[in-house]
Structure 1
Amino acid sequence: MKDAEPQIAVPEQEAATRTFRRRVFYLPGYDPIHPRRYRELYRKEGAEQADLSGYGLTLRPKKVKGPYGWQVEGVIEGRSAEADVEVLVWSDIVRDSMSGTIPATYLQLVRTAWAYIGSGALFRLMRLRKGPMIAALYPIVFLLVQLALACLLGWALGALIAGLTHWTLGLAVAALVAVLVLRWFKAKDNKVFAWYLMHDYAYSAQSGGANPPALEVRMAEFRTQIRAALDQDYDEVLVVGHSSGAHLAVSILADLLREGLPERCPALSFLSLGQVVPMVSFLPNAARLRADLRFMAAQEQVFWLDVTAPGDGCAFALCDPVSVSGMAPPDKKGPLVISAAFTRTLSPAKWQALKRRWFRLHFQYLCAFDNLADRADEYDYFRVTAGPLTLRERFAARPPSKSRIERAVNGYGSVA
């Protein structure tokens, strides 16, 4: 394995005039929705950021093979660039995991709570950030409250019917009403996301942090797609892992590096956004992820930038995912942990409008910032994905956040 990032050498004068070419692989988190939402988000927010920052950004239909993507052309920092963006789709696996009945969801609740409490992971995670822990406890509390309300309403109507007729009919009415109320709560979950989040945490917890077999198969397919792009004429291949997609990307890239990169290939970069790595790496059976974190922290071929923000209550903001998981090697090289600093990069008016919309803030990394400083190393998703610099060129000289958390609090150290 090489000690430095492999890349194709380009004369300095030629590099300054020709179009920079990038392949972007976006790996979403636990999301059952069709990937077209990410294209529309990129189109809308990219146009807004381009208008705010004064650069050019144009979306076009995709030109490369793959299940879903688009092409973007940018004129940024005085140079032209184009990027072929591909969404690595696993929403079908997510939907299959969410197809359980109401009783099955409540059984998931019990099992998930026990996975984190029984293993001690919950109490260790609380020592890092309270925000993600509140987000983790929220669906449990909310679903229990919904169950209590459904049972209370069912009992009240059932008692009324039993008093007028017979207790057996009253019992049947009570059960029917409770079920109907729970179905109504589930149907309205697009407003509160309690059922969705319950499935999300249960998916990671069901095997104690180990990836389900179907997901491992899909990750191998993603690795094949990324490896094929390294044989193409790009200046950079950029892997973006958002939310729980970040820890999947860690394992995919670790496997890719173990297999070996081409002798001459584009720069390979990794951007993790709003990561929730500790939610998995702190579980007892996450040996594969812990080993991959240690491996990725010691290598230099892939430049890894980790971006979070304290304003995002769903992410482990400024928690170095390697160090807090207890996997920092003596020769640790990365990741570079920086903050998107929502309170600074968003105007006071926009921050006031968004600060209580915690689910929307978890996607802010993919959106426009209306108060960015005019600096090349300021985090801007559209400069990163459609600009003329590699991730390493743009951020390598930037110091890590001073308020990052690096203390190891994970109770499990086994590795695959």
Structure 2
Amino acid sequence: MTIFKRKVFYVGGFDPRGVRFYYNLAKEQLGRYADKTGEAVTMSSRRNASPIRSDWTIRNDTADATTDYSFLRWEDIVQQAWIRNPVQLGLRAARVYAGYFRLFDFATVRKLATGPLVTMLYPPILSILLPLLLALPVFLIALLWLPWWLALGLGLVIGGAGAIPLLDAIRAPWLLRFAVFNGEFGDGEGSPALQARLDAFADEIAKDLHGDHDEVLLVSHSNGSILAMLLMARLLERYDGILPANFVLVTYGHCIPLVACRRDAVRFHARLRYLSRQDFRWIDIGSPPDGAAFFGANPLLLVGPSPRPRIELLSPRFHRFYEPETYHKGWRNKYEIHFDYLRVGDRVSPLDLPSLTASARGIEASVAAFRTIA
């Protein structure tokens, strides 16, 4: 008989790579966990439980623990929203950022965290300035032989081409697509396709919510945390505000204020107000150096002064679990920092996702163990 049984439902971020990438990442990182702990951890093959859900099983024979893991899929919606044409991306981004400057509460966001504000603004700024800076010397040199209009055209073409790999290195196009997706969230419910997918996610969770597990975790990462708010509202409404005592919401690197701080996201605000009146356990893990996450920010305080959910805001303290030479820092590694929640560092943390899914500790015990680490 298994000593500890866990159920995990995972909602990922705005990433077109989907379940295959995350399954391989989980398998790789659980291998690192096993190597560093000496525990015998295995992971089953991936199986399709439904068109929108892929399952696998994580087994820790040393600790006699089993995790039934369900990856809730929405990468097809991301792929449809993934703008490939750079001209179209630029035009859509220009329209979305105009909306941000008109409707976004920058003052509140700045009080919550400056890092996400920088991350939000630097892609459009650099996408304009970098090609122009590279074009300028080409233009000036070409003026020696060509008419100004030909020199200008040549400079812009070469400057634009030269900027592409530099912008890709700092993930500017990805961040622009991310901003466009969230900027086009409308009143905060997303597209009809996304709303239907969230309804289907609630149906999938309902199948196993009251099973014979010691704990049930709804885990979200990055943009998935925005979806998790809408999903949590659906679950609580379905069960009259009462979820099982062993249910915990876990958010990694949440970016909920990107929608919550839009003045036009009225339905999202209503969802947050509803959640703020409910009683459930929520553990948020966000890193201060993560420029895409709102570290230490309770998004429910944006809609009221005394939210009821039992939320705990934690830093993963990556600097404690990585050696200096492997610790992700600097602008080029901001993207990697945002994914470190899903990895095992040089030292195993009780709160990284592989540890949460492989150990025989419940999440409350994992938080307690994390607090004892100097």
Aligned CA distance change for structure 1 residues 370 and 265 (closer, same or farther; 3 Å): same
Residues 159, 220 of structure 1: CA spacing in aligned structure 2 closer, same or farther, 3 A cutoff? Answer: farther
Relative to the length of structure 1, the TM-score reads: 0.77
1:386 aligns with 2:352: no
- Find the counterpart in structure 2 of residue 70 from structure 1: 56
Structure 1 segments unaligned to the other structure (5+ residues): 1-16, 400-416
What per-residue deviation string (whole Å, max 9, x for no partner) do you get for residues 123-170 of structure 1? Answer: 32122222111111121112112442576578569867854xxx9xx6
Q: Which moved more, 1:39-48 or 1:259-268?
A: 259-268
Shift of 1:306: 0.6
**In structure 2, which of residues 329, 336, 339 is the aligned counterpart of residue 355 of structure 1?**
329
3-state DSSP of counterpart to 1:84 = strand
Describe the SS at the equivalent of 2:237. Answer: helix
CA contact (8 A) 2:8 2:69 kept: yes
5 Å-filtered alignment, 1:184-333, equals 185-186=163-164, 190-208=168-186, 210=188, 211-230=190-209, 232-260=211-239, 267-300=246-279, 302-323=280-301, 325-329=302-306, 332-333=308-309
Distance, in Å, in 2 between the alignment partners of 1:264 and 1:296 is 12
Task: Please list the CA deviations of residues 109-132 of structure 1 after superposition, one character each: whole Å capped at 9, or x if unmatched.
Answer: 322322232225223212222211
Contact 2:16–2:79 under 8 Å retained in 1: yes
Give SS of 1:86's match.
strand
2:355 aligned partner, one-letter code: R
| Higher CA-based Rg | 1
Identity %: 26
2:39–2:60 Cα contact (<8 Å) kept? yes
1:110 corresponds, among 85, 94, 99, to 94
Deviations 1:279-314 (A, max 9, x none): 1100012233333333334433x4211111213222
Amino acid at match of 2:183: A
Opposite residue 31 of structure 1, the aligned amino acid is D
Q: CA 1:271–1:265 in structure 2 vs 1: closer, same or farther (change >3 Å)?
A: closer
Aligned partner of 1:406 in structure 2 is none
| CA distance 1:109–1:130, change in 2 (3 Å) | same
| Structure 1 contact 237–268 (Cα < 8 Å) conserved | yes
Q: What CA distance in whole angstroms lies between the structure 2 residues aligned with 1:369 and 1:264?
A: 33
Q: Are positions 1:131 and 2:103 aligned together?
A: no
Alignment match, 1:141: 125
Q: Distance in 2 between matches of 1:294 and 1:263?
A: 16
**CA RMSD, 1 decimal:** 3.2
Taking a change above 3 Å as real, the CA distance of residues 64 and 201 of structure 1, as seen in their structure-2 partners, is closer
Q: Whole-Å Cα distance in 1 between the matches of residues 163 and 177 of structure 2?
A: 15
| Alignment-derived partner of residue 56 in structure 1 | 40
What secondary structure is seen at the aligned counterpart in 2 of 1:35? helix
Once residues 75 and 134 of structure 2 are traced to their aligned partners in structure 1, the CA distance between those partners, rounded to angstroms, is: 31
Given that residues 282 and 309 in structure 2 are in contact (C-alpha distance below 8 angstroms), is that contact kept between their aligned partners in structure 1? Answer: no
Does the residue aligned with 1:314 lie in a helix, a strand or coil?
Answer: coil
**Secondary structure of residue in 1 paired with 2:79:** helix
Contact 2:132 2:159 in 1 (8 A): no
Secondary structure of the equivalent of 1:136?
helix
Tell me the amino acid that sits aligned with residue 73 of structure 1.
Answer: R
Can you give the 5+ residue segments of structure 2 that lack an aligned partner in the other structure? none
User: Aligned-pair distance for 1:188?
Assistant: 6.8
Aligned length: 366
Aligned match for 1:46, one of 12, 30, 34: 30
Relative to the length of structure 2, the TM-score reads 0.84
